[in-house]
């Protein structure tokens, strides 16, 4: 049965006195039973440390951690009823695939017949039944990762932890394994926490995403909430590819008569009740318009197949526009830019915190 996960005021510091380094700064997260939570952020943000604390590999300096309503602070990893999939697979090279999958069951003294049945069930779920007699050295990277997941699944744990499990795979295999992990979660319903620095993995896999920076939780929400209403400029810039465009300027007038003035142009937009702000616009929400007053020069055209990304040099810096695949724009061409008032993201110029309009 899937368990809840309650992370309350978790703080982690290394060292003593003047040499103390605070890696986690009072993290609070509630994960519902059966939820798939993604911890995302750059290297050094504290996401792997938080995962290690959940697993019991690290002890928190302060705070409480509850799995299924029971505090597990100080409880050994083996007693937490969790399973973990690592970046490095961590398979036993001298064992067959079947023995690797069933190893944890054997350690728990599960009867041989029940163990064999569970191995077959997990292998069928992962579509590796034909590989059960092979050794890890005879498998591809994707097959080894499936075996690593099978070993974790065989135990039917309360909690599933993933530590960047796809980072060693090539691009095509990463896409396939993302779909596989999502399918397995839908089948098993096991509460899962997944660490990654890849925002594409975060957006495609998670039911909720927790964005971290420098040991601080910046925002937690659904992929749609994180993408459409980022809490600050850091989240806005980290989530989304290409990144959000940021336009610093000043607001003249409020409400429907508002006007946003910036270096090299201005836009008639309703804005927040501040003097200065940053306007954030996703590349798909900026459009080319021949009669627009805001103009720039095309500096780069990047075809991606289904779309083309066009980088325009303007007075406020480079602006990226997502447009149709068959665009005829050329480098050096002068273009006009327009935005829709429906997709504005306003941020405080000093703090970067999201602002509301009205």
Same domain, 250 and 231: no
Residue-wise pLDDT tens digits, 176-230: 888 888 988 898 899 999 999 998 899 999 999 999 999 999 999 999 999 999 9
CB 85 within 8 A of CB 162: yes
Helix pair angle (97-107, 141-154), 10° resolution:
20
Same domain, 30 and 146: yes
For residue 256, what pLDDT is reported?
66
Q: Give residue 54's domain range.
A: 5-237
Same domain, 76 and 169: yes
| Number of domains the chain contains | 2
For residue 69, what pLDDT is reported?
94
The structure's pTM equals 0.88
Give the 3-state DSSP-derived string for the chain, with helices as H, strands as E and coil as C. CCCCEEEEEEEEEECCHHHCEEEEEEEEEEECCCCEEEEECCCCCCHHHHHHHHHCCCCCCEEEEEECCEECCCCCHHHCCEEEECCCCCCCCCCCHHHHHHHHHHHCCCCHHHHHHHHHHHHHHHCCHHHCCCCHHHCCHHHHHHHHHHHHHHCCCCEEEEECCCCCCCHHHHHHHHHHHHHHHHHHCCEEEEEECCHHHHHHHCCEEEEEECCEEEEEECHHHHHHCCCEHHHHHHCCCCCCEEEEEEEECCHHHCEEEECCEEECCCCCCCCEEEEEECHHHEEECCCCCCEEEEEEEEECCCEEEEEEEECCEEEEEEEECCCCCCCCCEEEEEECHHHCEEEECCCCEEECCC
Q: From edge to edge, which strands make up the β-sheet containing 159-163?
A: 82-85, 159-163, 191-196, 36-40, 208-213, 216-221
The residue from 176, 202, 237 where one domain ends is 237
Residues 6+ apart with CB under 8 A from 349: 248, 274, 276, 277, 278
Q: Can you tell me the distance from the alpha carbon of 194 to that of 177, in angstroms, rounded to the nearest whole number? A: 14
For residue 349, what pLDDT is reported?
95
For residue 19, what pLDDT is reported?
86
For residue 175, what pLDDT is reported?
86
- Token reading at 141: 């990277």
Same domain, 267 and 176: no
Same domain, 256 and 321: yes
pLDDT beneath 50: ranges in the chain: none
For residue 90, what pLDDT is reported?
81
Same domain, 274 and 196: no
Same domain, 142 and 103: yes
Q: Can you tell me the distance from the alpha carbon of 45 to that of 214, in angstroms, rounded to the nearest whole number? A: 4
The residue from 186, 203, 237 where one domain ends is 237
For residue 271, what pLDDT is reported?
87
């Amino acid at each position: 049965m899937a368990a809840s996960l309650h992370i309350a005021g978790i703080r982690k510091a290394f060292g003593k006195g003047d040499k103390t380094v605070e890696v986690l700064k009072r993290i609070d997260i509630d994960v519902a039973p059966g939820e798939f939570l993604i911890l995302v952020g750059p290297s050094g943000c504290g996401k792997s440390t938080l995962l290690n604390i959940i697993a019991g590999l690290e002890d928190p300096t302060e705070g409480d951690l509850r799995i299924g309503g029971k505090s597990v602070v100080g409880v050994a990893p083996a007693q937490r009823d969790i399973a973990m999939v690592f970046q490095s697979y961590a398979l036993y090279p001298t064992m067959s695939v079947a023995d690797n999958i069933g190893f944890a069951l054997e350690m728990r003294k599960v009867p041989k017949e029940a163990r064999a049945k569970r191995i077959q069930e997990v292998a069928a779920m992962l579509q590796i039944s034909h590989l059960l007699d092979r050794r890890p050295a005879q498998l591809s990277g994707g097959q080894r990762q499936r075996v690593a997941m099978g070993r974790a699944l065989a135990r039917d744990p309360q909690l599933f932890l993933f530590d960047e499990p796809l980072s060693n795979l090539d691009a095509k295999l990463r896409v396939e394994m993302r779909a596989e992990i999502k399918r397995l979660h839908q089948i098993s319903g096991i509460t899962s926490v997944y660490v990654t620095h890849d925002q594409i993995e975060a957006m495609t896999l998670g039911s909720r995403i927790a964005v971290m920076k420098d040991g601080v939780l910046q925002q937690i929400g659904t992929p749609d909430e994180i993408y459409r209403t980022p809490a600050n400029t850091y989240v806005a810039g980290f989530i989304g590819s290409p990144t959000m465009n940021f336009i610093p300027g000043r607001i003249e007038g409020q409400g429907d008569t508002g006007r946003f003035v910036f270096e090299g142009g201005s836009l008639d937009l309703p804005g927040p009740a501040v003097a200065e702000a940053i306007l954030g616009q996703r590349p798909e929400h900026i459009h080319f318009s021949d009669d627009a007053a805001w103009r720039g020069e095309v500096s780069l055209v990047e075809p991606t197949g289904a779309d083309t990304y066009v980088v325009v040099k303007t007075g406020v810096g480079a602006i990226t526009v997502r447009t149709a695949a068959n665009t005829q724009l050329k480098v050096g061409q002068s273009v006009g830019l327009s935005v829709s008032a429906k997709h504005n993201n306003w941020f405080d110029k000093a703090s970067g915190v999201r602002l509301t309009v009205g």
